[in-house]
Amino acid sequence: MTQKNEIPALILALGTTLLLLGGGYWWLTRHTELGRNLSQSIPQAIPETSPNTAPNRPGQSPLEQRFSAGERLLIAGVASAEKQAGISAIAAGDFTQAVSALEASLQQNRNDPEALVYLNNARIGSGQNYTLAVAVPTTTSVDPAQEILRGVAQAQQQVNESGGINGVPIRILIVNDDNAPAVAAQVAETLVQDPTVLGVVGHFGSETSLAAGEVYQRGGLVMVSPTSTAVGLSGFGDAIFRTVPSDRFTATTLSRYLVNSLQERNVAIYFNADSDYSQSLKNELTTALLSDGGQVVAEINVAEPSFNARGSLDQASQQGAEVLVLATNTSTLNQALQVVEANQARLPLLGGDSLYNPQLLQRGGADAADMVVTVPWILLSNPNTPFVATARQLWGGDVNWRTAMAYDAVLAIAAGLAPNPSRSGLQATLSGAGFTTEGATGTIRFLPSGDRNQAMQLVQVRPGTRSGYGYDFVPVQP
């Protein structure tokens, strides 16, 4: 009798156990999947797997790991043991050791702007400083990021060696924004909330600067972009400036060259419909051409999944195009180079500043010969300035317009802070009608719109030996 009563109880216990196990398995898999989805929605950290990065601190988020004044490596790649030691020393607060290690690293590889920024910061140590942030895409567009950082590091060193701002040196905080608008807005919020940051150099792309600019304007933190040219930034707010001329200047320069020098009127424009910069340049060039007596006969979106370079050339030819203008951006450089290769130098080629890229020389070769590109500055137009001489000494070679514009951005902020070293003081000084200071590219002054008041220059792809690819960018002779 007792055994019969125990059987139902055993069955019930077994069923309950199976139910609990099944529920536990569901809970575990559900929450594992949820965790995976959440991790994908958070900006990812720069991998911290090498000994040259500081260990994660408790409570540190992936977003916070995008910031470094020297305590972690932001530009991935081969780093010397000395650079790794310098970064570790900064993270530990041993600035004397950091200076020694980073100086040794730069002796091995002087063309390392990240190391020079960290060295300049280590020399300040824990002393009084004015902190500026520089936002660059250290993981997604490494070459432009380093070009900008070279200008920042050179200006930082020059200002500090000259006595700083009223005796106070500049400390640089590097920020990786991936050139992604959503990430840029997040890092901008963090910078606005940090009262030690007095100004920002950045961002790289126009879309990124537009997204971050909303945050800076709302928070009263000055942003000076060295590379964003979209017209949408003009008059964006009284805290938003740039040392690079806007696309309106680029369009005017290209249009006049087309009509007056090439004596052509019908243009096909290649652009990226998903890019604010590319759309801006296309629209401004269309307007400028109409004013100068030309016209756009074809608009070709290289971001279309069905884009075919050879087919697009047939389309442009059928519509009467006499000149091809590449108004593409950095992310669609490959499509632009496909057009250059497919064209085989048949129709004249022109391009915006995004085409000022070593890949045009390397991949384009003879197909790119005689192509004309607009830039805000080129070293060969004035090769004997103090800026150029110092840059060659620091980096062991020539620098480009992005470096020059970033250098000018730091000098503009430094000059703007001198009368009143505060966020509001900087904004008021840069906005003032009488503000001027000398930079790598001449006098720096801003229009009421925050734009740089400076003409663009034209360069042409010609056979040469400076780049190592058999072709160089040289100034167009008037």
pLDDT in tens, 294-352: 999 999 999 999 999 999 999 999 999 999 999 999 899 999 999 999 999 999 999 99
Asked whether residue 13 carries a pLDDT value surpassing 50, the answer given is: no
3-state helix, strand, coil in the chain (%, to 5): 50, 15, 35
Confidence category of residue 455, pLDDT binned at 50, 70, 90:
confident
Confidence category of residue 232, pLDDT binned at 50, 70, 90:
very high
Asked whether residue 142 carries a pLDDT value surpassing 80, the answer given is: yes
Taking the CA atoms of residue 174, residue 177, residue 178 and residue 183 in that order, the dihedral angle to the nearest 10 degrees is 160
Confidence category of residue 52, pLDDT binned at 50, 70, 90:
very low
CATH topology for 247-375+457-475 is Rossmann fold (3.40.50)
Mean of pLDDT values over 112-120: 98
**This model's pTM is above 0.85:** no
> In this predicted structure, what is the pLDDT of residue 189?
98
> Which of 349, 293, 345, 351 is closest to 324 using CA atoms?
349
User: Which residues in the chain are classed under CATH 3.40.50.2300?
Assistant: 55-244+381-446, 247-375+457-475
> In this predicted structure, what is the pLDDT of residue 228?
96
Select 55-244+381-446's CATH number: 3.65.10.10, 1.20.1630.10, 3.90.1300.10, 3.40.50.2300: 3.40.50.2300
Instruction: List 168's β-bridge partners, or say none.
Output: 165
Instruction: Please give the Cα distance from 176 to 367 (Å, whole number).
Output: 35
CA 321 to the chain's CA centroid: 33
Q: For all residues of the chain together, what is the average pLDDT?
A: 88
Confidence category of residue 78, pLDDT binned at 50, 70, 90:
confident
Per residue in 419-430, pLDDT (tens digit) is: 999 999 999 999
> In this predicted structure, what is the pLDDT of residue 452?
92
